[in-house]
C-alpha cells in the first residue's frame, strides 16, 4: 500500500464519518433470517437486503459519501460517471440530493430498467461501448473535456468509505456473526467491509464471491495488482468488470480470506430461490452469495452464523421471466414437448386426452401446418405444460409415447 497513498484515507474513522453523512439520505436495510437457506445449507443464514435500499442498491452509499465531500467549485463543474446501472442510479440520486448536474455513461448493453431509472433521477445518460470498461474509457475522456468531477464506481477512497458503512450496519445488527459473503466486481464494497472488519471484528471470515465469467479479483489478489481479463460474460451485470481497482486490491490483500466463483447457472438458481422462498427480487450480482451457499462452495463449521449481502435488486423484468422459466424447467415444473399428429379432425383432442386424465395444466398449444418440415398430411404440435416434478414429466412423456407419439422435449 506504500505505492498508493490513497489507501491511507480509507480508515475506520473515514467510514464512521461517511455513515454520519448518509443518515438523512439512505435506508437502514433489514437483516433477514432465512429459514429456507439455513435448512438447505446447515448454517444460520441471514440476508442483508440492500436490494431494498434507495435506488435498489448499495451503490448509493459510496456516491453520497463522495459527493457530500465535494467543494462548491467541484459541484459547480458537475459530475461524470460510468456504470452498468447501479452506480449510475446512486450518482444520479446523490447529485439530485445536492443539486449537482451529472452525466452518466452506460454501456449499450445496460438493462433498460437501469437506464430508465437513471434518467428519471435527472441525470443525462449517454450510451457508449458494449462493456462497462468501454463506457468507463469514454466517461473519463468526457470528464476531462468538460472539466467535470469523475466519480469512480469503486476505486476511490471516499466511495469505498461509503460502501464500508454497510459493514458497520451489519455488525450493529449482528455483532456475533462468523462470516460474511460479499459480491465482488471492482472491489469497492468488499474493500470497505474489509476495512471495518479488520478494525472491529478481525475474526469474522470475509468471503468474496464473483461470477465465473468475470473472475478477475482472485488472481488480482494473488498477483498483488489488478489483473485484466480479456473478456467478461455473466448475467450478473453489476459485477461484470474486466479489471478491479488498484486501491481495492491493495485494501483487500491480507484481509479477504477467500474469493469464491459461481457460474451463471447457480446465480440463476439463487435468483429463483430468493424470489420464491424469500419473496425478494434480487439481481444477479446480488444473488452470488446465496449461489455460493446453495452450491456448497462455502466451507464453515456447521451452524455458523453467515450473512450474505444482497447487494442490489435492479434486474430487468425480461431477464427475470427467462430465469424463472429456466429454473422451473430444471426443477421439473415446466415441460415443453413437441410431437406430430395426423392432420385430421379429432387428432388434437386425442393427443390431449391422456394429459387431461393426468390433470396436467396446459399453458399453451402451438399447432402448425405451414412452414414446417413434416409431411403434408400431418401437423406439428408444441405443448407448454405446467408439471409437479421430474417424475411427473417422465409420466407425461411415457403416456404420450404409449399412444404412439414420437415426443421430443425442448
Q: How far apart are CA 132 and CA 285, in angstroms?
A: 14
Catalytic residue at 364?
no
* Whole-Å CA distances, 34 to 128, 168, 305: 40, 21, 11
Name 362's bridge partners: 385
Is 83 annotated as catalytic? no
Active-site residue (options: 34, 220, 311, 379): 311
Sort strands 79-82 and 149-150 into parallel, antiparallel or unpaired: parallel
Q: What are phi and psi of 179, to 5 degrees?
A: -155, 150
Q: Which of 34, 48, 57, 59 is catalytic?
A: 59
Per the CB < 8 A criterion, the answer to whether 252 and 214 are in contact is: no
Which residues are part of the catalytic machinery? 59, 311
Amino acid at each position: 500500500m506504500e505505492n498508493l497513498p490513497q489507501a491511507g484515507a480509507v480508515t475506520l474513522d473515514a467510514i464512521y464519518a461517511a455513515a454520519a453523512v448518509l443518515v438523512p439520505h439512505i435506508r437502514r436495510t433489514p437483516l433477514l433470517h432465512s429459514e429456507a437457506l439455513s435448512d438447505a445449507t446447515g448454517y444460520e443464514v441471514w440476508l442483508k437486503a440492500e436490494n431494498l435500499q434507495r435506488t435498489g442498491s448499495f451503490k448509493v452509499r459510496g456516491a453520497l459519501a463522495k459527493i457530500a465531500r465535494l467543494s462548491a467549485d467541484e459541484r459547480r463543474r458537475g459530475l461524470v460517471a460510468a456504470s452498468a446501472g447501479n452506480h449510475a442510479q446512486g450518482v444520479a440520486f446523490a447529485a439530485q440530493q445536492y443539486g449537482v448536474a451529472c452525466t452518466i455513461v452506460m454501456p449499450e448493453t445496460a438493462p433498460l430498467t437501469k437506464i430508465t431509472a437513471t434518467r428519471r433521477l435527472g441525470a443525462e445518460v449517454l450510451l457508449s461501448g458494449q462493456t462497462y470498461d468501454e463506457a468507463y474509457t469514454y466517461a473519463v475522456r468526457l470528464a476531462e473535456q468538460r472539466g467535470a468531477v469523475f466519480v469512480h464506481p469503486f476505486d476511490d477512497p471516499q466511495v469505498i468509505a461509503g460502501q464500508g458503512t454497510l459493514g458497520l450496519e451489519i455488525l450493529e445488527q449482528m455483532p456475533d456473526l462468523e462470516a460474511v459473503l460479499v459480491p465482488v466486481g471492482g472491489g469497492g464494497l468488499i474493500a470497505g467491509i474489509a476495512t471495518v472488519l479488520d478494525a472491529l471484528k478481525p475474526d469474522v471470515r470475509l468471503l468474496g464471491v464473483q461470477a465465473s465469467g468475470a473472475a478477475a479479483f482472485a488472481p488480482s489478489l494473488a498477483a498483488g495488482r489488478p489483473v485484466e481479463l480479456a473478456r467478461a460474460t455473466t448475467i450478473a451485470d453489476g459485477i461484470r468488470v474486466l479489471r478491479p481497482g488498484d486501491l481495492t486490491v491493495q485494501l483487500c490483500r491480507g484481509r479477504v480470506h477467500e474469493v469464491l466463483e459461481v457460474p451463471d447457472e447457480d446465480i440463476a438458481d439463487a435468483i429463483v430461490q430468493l424470489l420464491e422462498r424469500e419473496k425478494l427480487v434480487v439481481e444477479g450480482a446480488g444473488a452470488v452469495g446465496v449461489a455460493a451457499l446453495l452450491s456448497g462452495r462455502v466451507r464453515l463449521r456447521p451452524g455458523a452464523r453467515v450473512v450474505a449481502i444482497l447487494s442490489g435488486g435492479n434486474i430487468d423484468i425480461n431477464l427475470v421471466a427467462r430465469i424463472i422459466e429456466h429454473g422451473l424447467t430444471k426443477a421439473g415444473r415446466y415441460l415443453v414437448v413437441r410431437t406430430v399428429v395426423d392432420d385430421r379432425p379429432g387428432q388434437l383432442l386425442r393427443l390431449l386426452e391422456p394429459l387431461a386424465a393426468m390433470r396436467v395444466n396446459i399453458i399453451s398449444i402451438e399447432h402448425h401446418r405451414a412452414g414446417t418440415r413434416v409431411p403434408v398430411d400431418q401437423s406439428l404440435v408444441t405443448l407448454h405444460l405446467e408439471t409437479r416434478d421430474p417424475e411427473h414429466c417422465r409420466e407425461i412423456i411415457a403416456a404420450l409415447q404409449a399412444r404412439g407419439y414420437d415426443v421430443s422435449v425442448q
